Amino acid sequence: MMNRFHWSMLIFGVAAFTWWNFFANTKTISHDTELYPQELFLEDVSKIYHDIGGAALKRGDFSKAIRSYHETIATRPTWLEGYDRLGTTYELNNQPDEALKIYAQAMAINPDFLEHRLYAGGKQPVRALAARPSKGVEWTGQDLKDKKIFVYSEKGFAETIMFCRFLPALKEKAEKVYFKPQEAIFSLIKGANLGITLCNNQTNLVDLDVDYHVSLLSLQHYLGMTREQLNPHTAYLKVSSDKATLMRKGFFNNNDIKIGIAWQPSMIRPAAKETGIPLALFSPLNNIPGIKVYLLQRGGSSTSPADTKFINLGDELKDFTDIAAAIENLDVLITADADLAALAGALHKKTWFLTPVQNDWRWLSHWDKNRTVWFDHFRKIQQAPNKNWQPTLSLVTEKLQHFVAKRKKPIIA
């Protein structure tokens, strides 16, 4: 058994060993031969905090993720990835003002931070992938009188649908506006008659004679349009009347209240496996009298309970113009797909958007988590904090029952 003397000798030995290795021995090691220089140590520490933040983010613990990412940039102040993750986490936590502060810090360190944020999966930046004319310079708000400008899309379909509303305002300032949307929504944008010249994949952009080019998502900023100047009370996209009529005669020719549902997060580009809301959770809608439910999910499984009364339109919807024609005939769209939510909003149709528990910056909902500044007929219904969709769908059923009762209430003269 060790007595006091043995413990004293052990402590003395450990102290001597520590002193020799970390103090005396360092005098013989030059900076060039140092085994673990400080910058590498701080880099590794920042990665540890980064990984802790990522783990906390996956659990939905935004507060811990924010603290960890702050430590990340404190230990490695020039690492743009740390600022990107911290800003994104602030966005998810409904703190857009804090996110902007972090992005401003990153821009001060490296003005190319915006390009860094647009990298996707280690590939080329999204902006670099967007075909642009070889002529012209980046537009940042300069006078456009007698000038021609080319606008290119970035990000996804939802962003293009949401931000194309600013193209007519740009046309008022410029002699001519060229716009190249994604090919999948070219016909949809063309039908809106926005007063601009559309380009597609067959357009020779290299020789296009323009004075400026700009990304679509930058228009609101450079046009100086505030939230109060948005008009959420009217449609800015249009549906082909012929398609809408054919769709109505074929599927919507009834007196029921018409409800459309899309339960996966991507209708146009279905995931390899279903990652959205189980269709079976919509079964209670079968028990609401006076409604007819239409399945708008194209691709993916449409399996539903055997007693369903749902009408599956998935095979009828070939492109965005077909989808728009179907939405035009609905009374309410209930969707987990951001693309469809944005499209219904642009058509000024009543939309209930089923969102995951994390916030999504594009809806600008920090002032009211259930609404968005973009559209007034639009409501967000958020997933339960435990990531369970059952309470959310129970709320949807309850809201729909109230909606039906209100619509069927007789009008008293």
Q: pLDDT digits over 162-216, tens only?
A: 999 999 999 999 999 999 999 999 999 999 999 999 998 888 888 889 999 999 9
Distance CA 295, CA 298 (A): 9
- pTM: predicted TM-score of the whole model, two decimal places: 0.75
Residue 396: per-residue pLDDT = 94
Distance CA 50, CA 88 (A): 13
Of the candidates 158, 196, 162, 169, the residue with the CA atom closest to the CA atom of residue 180: 196
Phi and psi at residue 158, in whole multiples of 5°? -60, -45
Domains, in order of start, for the chain: 38-117 (1.25.40.10), 132-229 (3.40.50), 241-405 (3.40.50.2000)
Q: What is the pLDDT of residues 327-381, one digit of tens each?
A: 999 999 999 999 999 999 999 999 999 988 766 777 877 667 788 888 989 999 9
With a cut of 70, say whether residue 128 has pLDDT above it. Answer: no
Signed CA dihedral, 114, 119, 124, 130: sign only: negative
Residue whose entry in the numeric block shows the structure tokens 């323009």 = 210
With a cut of 60, say whether residue 104 has pLDDT above it. Answer: yes
Q: What is the pLDDT of residues 389-409, one digit of tens each?
A: 999 999 999 999 999 998 876
Of the given ranges (121-125, 275-279, 330-334, 400-404), which has the lowest mean pLDDT?
121-125
Q: What is the mean pLDDT of residues 55-72?
A: 88
Distance CA 187, CA 236 (A): 15
Mean pLDDT of the chain: 82
Cβ atoms 327, 347 nearer than 8 A = yes
Residue 9's pLDDT band, with cuts at 50, 70 and 90, is low
Residue 413: per-residue pLDDT = 41
Q: What is the mean pLDDT of residues 225-237?
A: 85
Cβ atoms 358, 59 nearer than 8 A = no
Distance CA 147, CA 174 (A): 5
What's the chain look like in SS3? CCCHHHHHHHHHHHHHHHHHHHHHHHHHCCCCCCCCCHHHHHHHHHHHHHHHHHHHHHHCCHHHHHHHHHHHHHHCCCCHHHHHHHHHHHHHCCCHHHHHHHHHHHHHHCCCHHHHHCCCCCCCCHHHHCCCCCCCEECCCCCCCCCEEEEECCCCHHHHHHHHHHHHHHHCCCCEEEEECCHHHHHHHHCCCCCCEECCCCCCCCCCCCCEEEEHHHHHHHHCCCHHHCCCCCCCCCCCHHHHHHHHHHHCCCCCEEEEEECCCCCCCCCCCCCCCCHHHHHHHHHCCCEEEEECCCCCCCCCCCCCCCEECHHHCCCHHHHHHHHHCCCEEEECCHHHHHHHHHCCCCEEEEECCCCCHHHCCCCCCCCCCCCCCEEEEECCCCCCCHHHHHHHHHHHHHHHHHHCCCCCC
Distance CA 330, CA 271 (A): 25
Phi and psi at residue 335, in whole multiples of 5°? -145, 150
Percent of the chain with pLDDT over 90: 43
Q: b or e along 20-54 (b: 16 or more beta carbons within 10 Å of the residue's beta carbon)? A: eeeeeeeeeeeeeeeeeeeeeeeeeebbebbebbe
